[in-house]
Structure 1
Amino acid sequence: MKKTLLLLLLLMLLVGAGFVGWHYKAYRDFLNQPVFVTYPVVLEIDKGTSYGHFVQMVKSQQGQGELIYWKLLARLNDVQHKIKAGEFEISQAMTPLELIDYIDGNQVKTYAITLVEGHNWKQIRAQLKSSDIRQVASDMTEEQLINWLGIEAGHLEGQFLPETYQYTRDESDLDVLVRAHQAMKQVLNDAWSGRVDGLLLKSPYELLILASIIEKETAVSTERNIISGVFHRRLKQGMKLQTDPTVIYGVGDAYAGDITRQHLVTDTPYNTYTRKGLTPTPIAMPGAASIRAAAHPNEGKELYFVANNQGGHTFSETYEQHQQAVAAYLRGN
């Protein structure tokens, strides 16, 4: 009888040891195998999500591992507090602990929106409104936006630096505009502080206005400082800037793609053919390169420029030279 009991006890111990050993191996395999086998996987974790709900979310996305092992992982590694809110894109193999550390590191999925150099505020606002970003600024008036951003100029044109901005699912168009405005202020203040001596510009805002005109005049990087020099010399000599982009901005929706003589003679606050000096506000969002060019004009003698049919411009020191360049442009040379 005693031998039978001893044999039964030994058998139970062996079975128990085998059972524990089997689960131990399965748990070790669980720890070392990737959670997901197809990518990408997006986990949208709401604020306050428990560890248990997180595991259910993983399982609903075809995540690997038995529930008992996920619970054991939490018990042995104290990872419950590492589940953070956000949208996480899993694009490579991760073990359970790597996945949790990835989430704990707040590696949230980000999206990107690019504000294009030379676009005006109307275009920027339309772009944001048509994007998938959460809308907040779209429901605000321009006056509300100006007050929210603390823009002293009282005008939104030119106030946002053209760049690519990253945002998360929880952020809004207003968050992007705040960052873009702060970036513009930084670039503008740096350029103003480092400007060359002798400029007639009275403030960073006037620098921004001139930069916006330069931005609309050329996309050729080597021309920006030359065009800046032309405009600075014209301002010093009391000449009109006579730049088409300001006229186009002034006529607004009346511009249909071709600038006409009627546009040039129609007086608006932005018509630099009928008025001297700078326009009252920027006419677009200038990039950092145009802002720096406005602060560092070329020291040449050019006073005129015209398109050259090759994507750039021909610069002239005298009106006679300019007329020849215009004739060449009209001939297609």
Structure 2
Amino acid sequence: MVKRLLTVLVVVVGVAGIAAFGGYRYWQDRLEKPLALDAPYLYEVPPGAGFHQVVSELAEREIIEDVWAYRLLSRLEPEAVPRLRVGEYQLEPSMNGRELMALLGSDQVVTYTLTVPEGWTFRQMRSLLNAAPKLDKRTAEMSDAEVMALLGREGQHPEGWFFPDTYRYHKGVSDVELLRQSLQRMETVLEQVWAERQDDLTIDSPYEALIMASLIERETGAAQERREIAGVFKRRMEKGMRLQTDPTVIYGMGERYEGSITRADLRQATSYNTYVIDGMPPTPIAMPGRAALEAAVDPLPGETLYFVARGDGTHHFSRTLREHNNAVNRYIRNR
């Protein structure tokens, strides 16, 4: 009798074990089943969402099946349940349930890029921010002064203080965060560049270097010319000559500028027109990149005092006014 009971018990335990193992394998198969997707899918974990809420939502969207398998996961393997991160995630058809859970607990959120070109103005940068997808536009209705106050720079003119670069962000990031990154980056780069400056400059402060760099940035996009243009500006200032650089005229015109400048514009008195004022304008006229900043504090020695655009993105440099006028005739008037 005892032997029969033991035999029955062994059989029952065996069957139960087989059933448990089969059930466990079935559960695992459900979790390792590929997502019900035919193409990549952008899914967003909203703020404050919990695991069960996300699972239910994924099931409602028919991305996953067998909701019970995921709910059981939270009971039997709580360490496998992700600490959800808010943001957008790219779900792939080849992904299974466990890979999905790992993704939602990672920092692999979908990111976007925003590129601020060298030589752009702060107004152009703000327009770019206002048009950027998925960015929280907190400053869209603010004035420039209000933006600077929000960034802790109350009373500071914004032009030139934001570093032109490519910035990455994810949905929910605000334009304030990108502006703060850009501002801090410019302050850091400017400090580094100023520490490596020449000793005999005609500029006396990092801010003046920022102004000078903005003039260089707007005058040329040719890397090999930046230091020579800086040298021309330095020598003109040493001789008491006006800088006479067209981009300052354009900046001073503001919204009146429609693509060209006239002789009357060159004579128009504005605080930025370097055909009229002595020295540099009161603020930068654009956002200079690192190369222009480096050129501003390391001008190329030489004798040239003039330059004129050739029309191919480069300039002809001259030592004398006569040579310069000949170059103007060759490159501007004939054209």
Conserved in 1, the CA contact under 8 Å of 2:149 and 2:155?
no
Provide the C-alpha distance between the structure 2 equivalents of 1:125 and 1:60, rounded to a whole number of angstroms.
39
Conserved in 2, the CA contact under 8 Å of 1:117 and 1:286?
yes
Conserved in 2, the CA contact under 8 Å of 1:36 and 1:94?
no
Structure 2 counterpart of 1:108? 109
Secondary structure of the 2:44 match is strand
Structure 2 counterpart of 1:118? 119
Note the C-alpha offset of 1:312: 0.9
The gaps in structure 1 that reach 5 residues or longer are: none
5 Å-filtered alignment, 1:144-183, equals 144-151=146-153, 154-183=156-185
Provide the C-alpha distance between the structure 2 equivalents of 1:66 and 1:220, rounded to a whole number of angstroms.
61
Q: Check if 1:68 corresponds to 2:54.
A: no
Tell me the TM-score normalized by structure 1: 0.89
Aligned partner (choices 172, 189, 192) of residue 190 of structure 1:
192
Provide the C-alpha distance between the structure 1 equivalents of 2:162 and 2:332, rounded to a whole number of angstroms.
36
Conserved in 2, the CA contact under 8 Å of 1:309 and 1:332?
no
Provide the C-alpha distance between the structure 2 equivalents of 1:87 and 1:242, rounded to a whole number of angstroms.
51
Conserved in 2, the CA contact under 8 Å of 1:50 and 1:80?
no
5 Å-filtered alignment, 1:75-90, equals 75-78=75-78, 79-80=80-81, 82-90=83-91
Provide the C-alpha distance between the structure 1 equivalents of 2:180 and 2:216, rounded to a whole number of angstroms.
24
Note the C-alpha offset of 1:25: 2.8
Conserved in 1, the CA contact under 8 Å of 2:136 and 2:173?
yes
Amino acid at match of 2:192: D
Residue by residue over 1:70-104, the C-alpha shift from the partner in whole angstroms, topping out at 9 and shown as x without a partner, is: 12322232134522222222357434333323332
Residue by residue over 1:123-176, the C-alpha shift from the partner in whole angstroms, topping out at 9 and shown as x without a partner, is: 222222233321111232222222222337720111111111111211111111
Residue by residue over 1:17-41, the C-alpha shift from the partner in whole angstroms, topping out at 9 and shown as x without a partner, is: 6654443332333344443544422
Conserved in 1, the CA contact under 8 Å of 2:201 and 2:234?
yes
Structure 2 counterpart of 1:98? 99
Structure 1 counterpart of 2:288? 286
Provide the C-alpha distance between the structure 1 equivalents of 2:204 and 2:93, rounded to a whole number of angstroms.
54
Structure 2 counterpart of 1:219? 221
Mark the CA change 1:321 to 1:153 in structure 2 (over 3 Å): closer, same or farther.
farther
The gaps in structure 2 that reach 5 residues or longer are: none
Structure 2 counterpart of 1:43? 43
Structure 2 counterpart of 1:127? 128
Structure 2 counterpart of 1:321? 323
Conserved in 1, the CA contact under 8 Å of 2:40 and 2:91?
yes
Note the C-alpha offset of 1:14: 7.7
5 Å-filtered alignment, 1:232-311, equals 232-311=234-313
CA-atom RMSD, angstroms? Answer: 2.8
Provide the C-alpha distance between the structure 1 equivalents of 2:114 and 2:92, rounded to a whole number of angstroms.
21
Secondary structure of the 1:137 match is coil
Tell me the TM-score normalized by structure 2: 0.89
Provide the C-alpha distance between the structure 1 equivalents of 2:319 and 2:61, rounded to a whole number of angstroms.
69
Conserved in 2, the CA contact under 8 Å of 1:86 and 1:108?
yes
Secondary structure of the 1:208 match is helix
Provide the C-alpha distance between the structure 2 equivalents of 1:39 and 1:297, rounded to a whole number of angstroms.
55
Conserved in 2, the CA contact under 8 Å of 1:83 and 1:103?
yes
Note the C-alpha offset of 1:13: 7.1
Secondary structure of the 2:88 match is strand
Aligned partner (choices 135, 138, 157) of residue 136 of structure 1:
138
Provide the C-alpha distance between the structure 1 equivalents of 2:240 and 2:300, rounded to a whole number of angstroms.
18
Amino acid at match of 1:74: S
Conserved in 2, the CA contact under 8 Å of 1:82 and 1:101?
no
Provide the C-alpha distance between the structure 2 equivalents of 1:93 and 1:202, rounded to a whole number of angstroms.
61
Conserved in 2, the CA contact under 8 Å of 1:41 and 1:61?
no
Conserved in 2, the CA contact under 8 Å of 1:84 and 1:103?
yes
Amino acid at match of 1:180: S
When the two structures are aligned, how many residues end up with a matched partner? 332
Mark the CA change 1:134 to 1:12 in structure 2 (over 3 Å): closer, same or farther.
same
Conserved in 1, the CA contact under 8 Å of 2:308 and 2:324?
yes
Conserved in 2, the CA contact under 8 Å of 1:88 and 1:108?
yes
